[in-house]
Amino acid sequence: MKADLVEELVRLVRVRSEVYVTETGAVKRCNYREAAEAVKGLAERLGLSAELVELEVGGEKVPAVIAGIDGGGQSLAFVSHYDVVPARGPWLVEGRAFDPFDPLVLGGRVYGRGAADDKSAIVASLAALAELAEEGGPLKYKPVVVVTGDEEVGGLGVRALLGSGYRWDKAVILDAGAEYLSVGASGVAFGWVKVRGRSGHAGYPHKAVNPVEGAIKLAYHMLETYKPRRAAKLSKLSAPPGSPLPKVWGRFSFTIMKLAPGEPEKHNRIPGEAMLGFDVRLLPEEDLDEALAELYAHFSEAAAKLGLDIEVAAQGQRGWYAKDEGFVREALEAARGAYRSVGLEGEVAVAAELGGNDGTFFDAAGIPVVAFGAIRSECNVHSENEFVYARDLAMLKEFVKLLARGGKRG
């Protein structure tokens, strides 16, 4: 059975499967069960057998859906996720206002939260398996569609799935760009630095120690010293097309500035504690523990030089890079063939991602992995007016079919 890709995508986007982390650190999940049932229902409408797996994540049930068909010897997982970042509407496109969870189809695009990231991949991969089953013919791999939740809050769903004993011989992360085959992704370290002072009346600043001013000095010092040092780190892997550097590079940003919890926000009061949130991007091949040690050392040196009392707390996720060159060649051939099959111009490049994805967990499990998807740089993922091109839905479907055959047309 052939699926109407746009129609099926609209159905999935209408399920408001948002996830976010509250100020207390709790994960708030919305409509996960409905989303998983919708994915399973789509698979079954297409004639596929689908299993709904209950995963235990932080004391809550997070469902995953697994669907597959018979094929060749090794199993090949096509991985996507049904959870999305929150969205508030209305959105406005060409004078038309609409709810981000009631998609707008216009000009060859499907607008809506999750239309690109990552429900496009769910629809394309399930449709591909259905067509492979209907068309018959030899397959190199046994293809399996794996759809999880909690990708947007650190890949908790995939981690729980792999931790429960599920395993495939190879994997493709479909939560990825369409301009290039991803053969790696950056690691990340993030956290908070707290600057301690002594509160007081703003009219008597000489009697207080101002942590806000201390935080500003600390931020300036780190941006002047640590940020350039991190930027000088270069990967062996190419950066995505259009990047300012040819190779993936290290990055450091301050992303949040606020008072510590419990500090009153008053113009005439010098607070006792201020906080800075930061984000560090690691090279795909960089060691996480070494990067964290370097970060802590730089903060410590800065605090000593500036005479500040600070506390730093950070955590992270290492990056990954493809290690199976034969698999990379097959995936690249499939991606280029998929482009040709739908009349897309241009050549598919090979690069590593500046962000991270669930490939980290497959790589850590010793499973060869690459990434490719329907998300383009202009698709506004995680922002207003997120969209996916309808043609890229068809392109990604063809990619899955070609790769299941070993990268070649049947």
What is the C-alpha to C-alpha distance for residues 359 and 318, in angstroms, rounded to an integer?
10
What is the C-alpha to C-alpha distance for residues 148 and 78, in angstroms, rounded to an integer?
11
Q: Evaluate whether 57 touches 157 at the Cβ level (below 8 Å).
A: yes
From 361, 344, 368, 30, select the one nearest 172 (Cα to Cα).
Answer: 368
Q: Provide the pLDDT for residue 208.
A: 98
Averaged over 75-81, what is the pLDDT? 98
15-68 pLDDT, tens digit per residue, is 999 999 987 889 999 999 999 999 999 999 999 999 999 999 989 999 999 999
Averaged over 376-396, what is the pLDDT? 97
Which is more confidently placed, 372 or 24? Answer: 372
From 132, 5, 138, 23, select the one nearest 73 (Cα to Cα).
Answer: 138
Average pLDDT of the chain is 96
Q: Please give the structure tokens belonging to residue 275.
A: 């906080």
Helix ranges restricted to H, 261-377: 288-306, 325-341, 359-364
- Amino acid, single-letter form, for residue 18: E
Q: What is the C-alpha radius of gyration for the chain, rounded to an integer number of angstroms?
A: 23
pLDDT exceeds 60 at position 410: no
Domains, the chain, with CATH or none: 5-185+320-404 (3.40.630.10), 187-317 (3.30.70.360)
Q: Provide the pLDDT for residue 24.
A: 82
3-state DSSP helix/strand/coil % of the chain, to nearest 5: 30, 30, 35
Q: Provide the pLDDT for residue 367.
A: 98
pLDDT exceeds 80 at position 407: no
Q: Provide the pLDDT for residue 20.
A: 95
Q: Provide the pLDDT for residue 40.
A: 98
From 120, 122, 102, select the one nearest 112 (Cα to Cα).
Answer: 102
Where are the extended beta strands (E) located within 197-332? Answer: 200-201, 234-238, 247-249, 251-259, 269-270, 273-282, 309-317, 320-321
What is the C-alpha to C-alpha distance for residues 34 and 14, in angstroms, rounded to an integer?
10
Q: Evaluate whether 391 touches 333 at the Cβ level (below 8 Å).
A: no
pLDDT exceeds 60 at position 98: yes
Q: Provide the pLDDT for residue 409.
A: 62
Tokens 């598919």, located at residue: 348
111-123 pLDDT, tens digit per residue, is 999 999 999 999 9
From 121, 175, 148, 5, select the one nearest 64 (Cα to Cα).
Answer: 148
Q: Provide the pLDDT for residue 3.
A: 86
Q: Provide the pLDDT for residue 1.
A: 63
CB within 8 Å of 213: residues ≥ 6 apart? none
121-170 pLDDT, tens digit per residue, is 999 999 999 999 999 989 999 999 999 999 999 999 999 999 999 999 99
Express as a percent the part of the chain with pLDDT over 90: 94
